[in-house]
Amino acid sequence: MKNYKTIILSNQEISPGYYRMRLLTPGFSETARPGQFLMMRVQQSLPPLLRRPFGIFRTGFLPADCEGMPPKEYTEILYKVVGRGTNIMADLHRGDKVEVLGPLGRGFDVGDPSEEKILVGGGIGLVPLYMLAESLASRCKVRLLMGGRTRDDILAVTEFERLGVETYVSTDDGSLGEEGLVTRVLERKLDKYPRSSVYACGPMPMLEAVYRICHRRQVPLQVSLEALMACGVGACLGCVVKGVGHTEESPRYLCSCKQGPVFRADQLDWSRLGEEPGYCEGCKS
Amino acid sequence: MDKQTMKSGRPNLTVDIGGLVLKNPVMPASGTFGYGEEYAPFLDLNCLGAVVTKGLSLRPKAGNPTPRIAETISGMLNAIGLQNVGVDDFIKFKLPFLREFTTPVIVNFFGNTLEEYGEVAARLSDIPEVTAVELNISCPNVKKGGIVFGTDPKAAHEAVSTVRKQLNKHLMVKLTPNVTDITVIARAVEEAGADSISCINTITGMAVDIKTRRPRLANRTGGLSGPAIRPVALRMVHQVVQAVKIPVIGVGGIVRPMDALEFLIVGARAVQVGTANFVDPASMITIIEGIEQFLLEEGLTDINQLIGSLEL
Ligand SMILES: Cc1cc2nc3c(=O)[nH]c(=O)nc-3n(C[C@H](O)[C@H](O)[C@H](O)COP(=O)(O)OP(=O)(O)OC[C@H]3O[C@@H](n4cnc5c(N)ncnc54)[C@H](O)[C@@H]3O)c2cc1C
Ligand SMILES: Cc1cc2nc3c(=O)[nH]c(=O)nc-3n(C[C@H](O)[C@H](O)[C@H](O)COP(=O)(O)O)c2cc1C
Ligand code: FES
C-alpha cells in the first residue's frame, strides 16, 4: 500500500468510450491481489477534488529501456468515460503525471482449487476478474460469462482466452455472441456444472439477478461492489453498504473500501442493496 | 529527516496551545483520519503535531443511510452521521495502536445529551494515552427538542462546563460555523472552561441530482468541507482570535502550506487538515515542510513570530 507519484506509459481507447491506461508502478505487483483497487488522482490541480476508484485489471513487466536497468513494472486499469474525472483521464497521454494509491481493499477469496469457477462480468465489471482468472486458470476449470448491451461493451475477452479460460459472450442486442442477458447463460452453465462457485462484478441489477440465481441453487457467490468513495482507506466511512441483518432501527453497515469491495453474498443485505442511488445505477453496462 | 532533532539553523516549529505543547502546529481534522491506523501506511504519524481521532460517542453509532458523500466544486458534502465504534471499544481496540507513537493523541467526542457528554468525558479522563480531548458541540440535544448545542450560547456553555467537571485534561472545543455570530459562542465556551477552541466544523449544504431530482445525500443535507470553505473558515478564525484569550486552532479547506500559513498569520496557534488527506495522504507532511521552508525564506527563527502577525 503506497501512494505512487508516477507517469502514464500508455492510454488508449480500446472500444468506443472505454480506455486502457498503463501506469508505471514499481513494486506494485508483489502486493496486488485479485479484486483489489486503486485510488487515482486525475490531475495535480483541482477540480476534481477527490480521487477516483478503479479496479486493478492486471500488472506486468515491460523490458528495460536499456541494458543493466530493471524491467519496467506496470499496472493496467480499464475505464469507461462517464463523467468529469474519466473525461480528463481520457485526454491524458504517455508521460503525463498521475498519482495512484494502492493496492487497496479486500479482494476475492480464490477458494478451493478443486471446484470449478464461473466468473460473471457485466461491461466494465470485467476488470477485477482478470487477475482472478490469472491466479485460478492453472489450478482449476474457469469459465467467463461476459455480458454487455452491445458489442462495444465486450472487452478484453481474447486476453482471458489466452489464459485458458472458456469464454461465453452475450449482448442485449445480439451484436456479439449470444443475444440476451448474461444471467440466462449463467442459469444454463449452472444446470450443466452445478458444483461451480461464482464470482461476479457489474451493474447492480445484474448483480441482484446473479445473487437470486446463486441463492436459489445454493451456489457460493462473491461479488465486487461499487460505492461512492472519498478516501479509499477506511477513514471517511462514506462508502458503506448494507450488511446482512440491516434494519432502519439497528443499521448494519460494511465499509466497502476496507471490508470490501469484494464481499461474500451472504454478508450483504440484498433486499435493500440496490434501492438507493449512488451505487452504479446501471450506468456502465 | 527526523523532525524531532533541532538542528541549528532550522526554525522552531513548537507551539504551546494553553499548556498542550506540540512539536509542530499540524494535525488531522477529526473524522478524516479514522483512528490513525488507516493512514499509518502512508505517512509517519510521529511527524505530526498531534493525531485527532474520529468523533466518539458513549455507545457505538451506525451512522446515516447512503449515499453519504457527494463531491461539489472544490469541496465535498458529507452526512456520515458520526458513525463510530463507541468510547469503550475505542479505548480497548483502537487506542493501543496509537500508543506506539510519540505523537500526542487528541480524542474527539460528542453527545446527544448533557449526561452523555459528561459520561464520555469521565471515561476518557482516566486514560493516560489520551493527551487532550476535542469536544464536538455541533450535534443536537435530543432532550431539548434537538437544538444544536453549538448554536446556542447557553447550551454550549452547559455542554462545556459539564465536560470540564469530569475532565482533568486539556479541553479543546470545536465550534460549528452554522451560527450568526461565532464570537458569542466562542466567548461562552471560554467562560465555561475551555482551554482552546478549534474552528470550523463543516458548513451545512445541499446538492441535487437534476436528472432524478433527488438530493444527492440520503440525509438531504450534509456538511461542506474542502477548499470551498477556506475563506469562510479563515474569516471565522480571525473573528474568534479577536474575541477570546484562549488559543485557537484553525480548520477548514487547508490543502497547501500557504493555506495553513494564512490561518497562522491571522492568529491560529495550530491548524487541522481534513479533506486534503483524502486527496493526498501525505499532505500534512507537505504542509509541515512548507511551513518550515517559508520561515526560512522569511528569515524567521520561530513559528511563534509568524502566529498572529496579521498587518491591519
Ligand atoms: C472499488 C471500485 C472499483 C471501480 N473500478 C472501476 C473500473 O475498473 N473501471 C471503471 O471504469 N470504473 C470503475 N469504478 C467506477 C469509477 O470509480 C467511476 O466511474 C468514476 O469514479 C467516475 O468518475 P467521473 O469523475 O468520471 O464521474 P462523475 O462525474 O463523478 O460521475 C458521473 C457518473 O458516474 C457515477 N459514479 C461516480 N462515481 C461512481 C462510483 N464510485 N461508482 C459507481 N458510479 C459512480 C455517478 O453516479 C454519475 O452518474 C469503480 C468504482 C469502485 C468503487
Ligand atoms: C468525512 C468527514 C467526517 C467528519 N467527521 C467529523 C467528526 O466526527 N467530528 C468532528 O468534529 N468533525 C468532523 N468532520 C469535520 C472536520 O473535522 C473539519 O472540521 C471539516 O471537514 C473542515 O475541514 P477541511 O475543509 O479541512 O475538511 C468531518 C469531516 C469530513 C469530511
Ligand atoms: S472510502 Fe473512505 S471509508 Fe471507504
**B71 touching chain A per CB within 8 A:** yes
CA distances from A102 to A58, A223, A238, B281 (A): 13, 20, 18, 12
**What is the pTM assigned to this prediction?**
0.94
Average pLDDT of the residues in B126-131: 95
pLDDT class for A42, splitting at 50, 70, 90? confident
Q: Which residue has the higher pLDDT, A277 or B102?
A: B102
pLDDT in tens, A188-199: 999 999 999 999
Chain B hits for A101, Cβ within 8 Å: 42, 281
Average pLDDT of the residues in B141-146: 76
| Position in ligand 2 atom list of the atom nearest CA B226 | 25
Write out the H or E segment, with its range, that includes residue A90: helix A84-90
pLDDT class for A113, splitting at 50, 70, 90? confident
Map residue A167 onto helix, strand or coil.
strand
Write out the H or E segment, with its range, that includes residue A180: none
Mean pLDDT (chain B, rounded)? 94
**Percent of chain B scoring above 70 in pLDDT:** 97
Q: Where do the structural domains in chain B lie, given as residue ranges? A: 25-247
B199 is annotated as an active-site residue: no
Using CB atoms, pick whichever of B32, B67, B280 lies closest to residue A278.
B67
Q: Is residue A139 domain-resident?
A: no
B145 has a pLDDT exceeding 80: no
pLDDT class for A284, splitting at 50, 70, 90? very low
pLDDT class for A281, splitting at 50, 70, 90? very low
pLDDT in tens, A62-105: 888 788 888 889 999 999 999 999 999 999 999 999 999 999 99
State how many domains chain A has. Answer: 1
Q: Do B74 and A251 touch (CB under 8 A)?
A: no
Closest residue on chain B to A252 (Cα): B62
A273 has a pLDDT exceeding 80: no
pLDDT class for A282, splitting at 50, 70, 90? very low
Q: Is residue A18 domain-resident?
A: yes
**A280 touches A124 (CB < 8 A):** no
**CA quadruple A199, A205, A211, A217: dihedral sign:** negative
Q: What is the DSSP string of chain B?
A: --TTS--TTSPB--EEETTEEESSSEEEPTTSSTTSTTTTTTS-GGGSS-EEEEEE-SS-B--PPSP-EEEETTEEEE-----B--HHHIIIIIHHHHTTSSS-EEEEE--SSHHHHHHHHHHHHT-TT--EEEEE--SEEGGGTTEEGGGSHHHHHHHHHHHHHH--SEEEEEPPS-SS-HHHHHHHHHHTT-SEEEE--PEEEE-EETTTTEESSTTSEEEEESGGGHHHHHHHHHHHHHH-SS-EEEESS--SHHHHHHHHHHT-SEEEE-THHHH-TTHHHHHHHHHHHHHHHTT-SBGGGTTT----
Q: Is residue A159 domain-resident?
A: no
Write the CB contacts of A164 (distance below 8 Å, at least 6 apart in sequence): A137, A138, A142
Average pLDDT of the residues in A131-146: 93
pLDDT class for A283, splitting at 50, 70, 90? very low
In this prediction, residue B191 carries a pLDDT of 97
B173 has a pLDDT exceeding 50: yes
In this prediction, residue A88 carries a pLDDT of 94
Q: What value of ipTM does the predicted structure carry?
A: 0.92
A238 has a pLDDT exceeding 80: yes
pLDDT in tens, B245-279: 999 999 999 999 999 999 999 999 999 999 999 99
Q: Which residues pair with A167 in a beta bridge?
A: A144
User: Which ligand has an atom closest to residue A56 CA?
Assistant: 1
Shortest-distance Cα residue to atom 15 of ligand 2:
B201
B281 has a pLDDT exceeding 80: yes
Ligand 3 centroid – CA A240 distance (Å): 7
Average pLDDT of the residues in A213-240: 96
In this prediction, residue B1 carries a pLDDT of 41
Q: Is residue A73 domain-resident?
A: yes
Closest residue on chain B to A232 (Cα): B278
Residues A28 and B46: their CA atoms lie apart, in Å, by 26
Topology of domain B25-247, per CATH? Answer: TIM Barrel (3.20.20)
Closest residue on chain A to B215 (Cα): A277
In this prediction, residue A63 carries a pLDDT of 83
Shortest-distance Cα residue to atom 21 of ligand 1:
A52
What is the domain-level CATH number for residue A37? 2.40.30.10
pLDDT class for B144, splitting at 50, 70, 90? confident
Ligand 2 centroid – CA B242 distance (Å): 24
Q: How many CB atoms lie within 10 A of CB B231?
A: 12
Chain A hits for B70, Cβ within 8 Å: 228
Q: Is residue A16 domain-resident?
A: yes
Residue A47's domain comprises 2-104
Give the range among A37-46, B26-35, B177-186 with minimum mean pLDDT. A37-46
pLDDT class for A272, splitting at 50, 70, 90? low
Interface test with A, best of B71, B208, B211, B254 (most A CBs within 10 A): B71
**Percent of chain B scoring above 90 in pLDDT:** 94
Q: Which residue has the higher pLDDT, A281 or B198?
A: B198
pLDDT in tens, B210-233: 999 999 999 999 999 999 999 999
Using CB atoms, pick whichever of A51, A276, A278 lies closest to residue B278.
A51
Q: Do A49 and B76 touch (CB under 8 A)?
A: yes
